[in-house]
């Protein structure tokens, strides 16, 4: 049989209603396999099934949150600053309330971001000093060349 636009439309309608391929086949007067094949070609495989869809969506949202608190005993707003040696049984995380949008409490934020700042400051300072050194050497050399000439001019 030929797939007329009307039949395709009916197939889609029945499919979206959640009818089985056998039921659709009976409605259209075709075999179940013909329905399966057409559904596949129309890429209708993702049949909307509201209850199941909601369930999967909920699961997907919940997955990133840790179900077990044994690993860190941390909430989303708990400070993740590690305290002690990770090999040590006493090892734990700070767990204080975090600064909004930051993984650490105000105290550990200060430590974390200060050390990063200091590191970058040190780096830029070292680079600058190196640069300044070479500049200074060049200046000195120029001075040595130009100064005697200037003195001669002044002397005359
Ligand atoms: Zn902390």
Question: Each residue's pLDDT tens digit in the chain (156 positions)?
Answer: 688 999 999 999 999 888 999 999 999 999 999 998 999 888 876 665 555 545 555 554 444 444 333 344 667 788 888 888 888 887 888 888 999 888 899 999 998 888 777 777 777 766 666 555 555 555 555 555 555 555 555 555
**Which residues keep their CB under 5 angstroms from ion ligand 1?**
79, 81, 94, 96, 105, 108
Domain parsing of the chain, residue ranges: 5-48
Cα 91 to middle of ligand 1, angstroms? 14
Structure-token pair, residue 108: 């550990």
Cα 144 to middle of ligand 1, angstroms? 58
**CB-based contacts of 81, cutoff 8 Å, min separation 6:** 93, 94, 104, 105, 108, 111, 112
- The predicted pLDDT at position 123 comes to 75
pTM of the model: 0.31
């Amino acid at each position: 049989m030929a797939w007329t636009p009307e039949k395709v439309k009916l197939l889609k309608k029945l499919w979206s209603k959640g009818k089985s391929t056998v039921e659709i086949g009976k409605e259209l007067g075709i075999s179940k396999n013909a329905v399966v094949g057409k559904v596949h070609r129309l890429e209708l495989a993702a049949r909307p099934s509201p209850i199941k869809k909601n369930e999967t969506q909920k699961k997907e949202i919940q997955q990133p949150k840790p179900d077990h608190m044994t690993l860190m005993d941390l909430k989303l707003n708990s400070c993740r600053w590690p305290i002690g040696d990770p090999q040590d049984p006493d090892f734990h995380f700070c767990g204080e309330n975090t600064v909004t949008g930051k993984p650490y409490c105000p105290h550990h934020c200060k430590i974390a971001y200060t050390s990063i700042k200091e590191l970058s400051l040190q780096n830029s300072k070292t680079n600058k000093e190196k640069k300044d050194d070479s500049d200074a050497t060049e200046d000195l050399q120029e001075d040595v060349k130009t100064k005697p000439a200037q003195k001669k001019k002044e002397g005359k």
